[in-house]
Amino acid sequence: MMEEINPKETTRAYAFEMWMKAPMPMVTLIKTLDVSRLRRIGRRHGLKFNMLMCWCIGKAASQVKEFYMLPVDGKLMRYDTLAVNTIVANRDGEVSSCDIPFSEDISKFNADYLRLTRQVSESCTNHDIIDSMVIGTSALAQYDIDGAVGMYSGIFNNPFMIWGSYRRSWFKTLLTVSFQFHHTQMDGAHAARFLSLLQTEINMLSI
């Protein structure tokens, strides 16, 4: 569910006044994560690395209250659920967008991930969830990149994460991610805390 709220009655009142009409209100942080555990668990249990990343992103975001608010069409909206978006290669050789509802139960999230991404791939039709706050992701897994900065369309203000291929060594698997967010939604400290929580959730993941 989503509802409009009065920015003045939230902790984002000052940010809403300062950044809502800014020509470029997006901020990007870049961080290198140790994803060794995700790679090991994925190989051991036959789970997709991208699915595990998306679940950890949702789990970390669920612990930061700012993720449940988002500026939409000049208004501040509050949500009671989260979703994680992934980009899917479809049968026409193009890409489609797929929103997956976040669940604390990783088995349920995995089932939804497999079902919805297959549906989107075969139908070439986006799967959008309009009543959840959606965290966008784009995995350029076949490319070795050092970072990426998303564009600001002025239409979608959702937070967005991009990453390329992970880098393997003898002892660690590292992944550099970029995280873009609207300054009205959160400050740099909130975003940095989210990225720290993301690393914690990766380290603690248990199947």
Closest CA to 164 of 144, 181, 148: 144
Q: The domain 29-204 belongs to what CATH superfamily?
A: Chloramphenicol acetyltransferase-like domain (3.30.559.10)
Residues in the chain: 207
Tokens of 203: 């380290």
| pLDDT surpassing 90 at residue 156 | no
Label residue 68 by pLDDT band (50, 70, 90): very high
Span between the terminal Cα atoms of the chain, in Å:
30
Taking the domains of the chain in order of start, what are their residue ranges? 29-204
% pLDDT > 90, the chain: 89
Residue type, 85: N
% pLDDT > 70, the chain: 100
Please state, in angstroms and rounded to a whole number, the distance separating the CA atoms of residues 180 and 178: 7
| pLDDT surpassing 90 at residue 4 | yes
Confidence (pLDDT) at 151: 76
Tokens of 23: 């020509």
- The residues that bridge with 174 in the sheet, in sequence order, are 34, 167
Confidence (pLDDT) at 146: 86
**Average pLDDT, stretch 89-104?**
96
**Average pLDDT, stretch 135-160?**
88
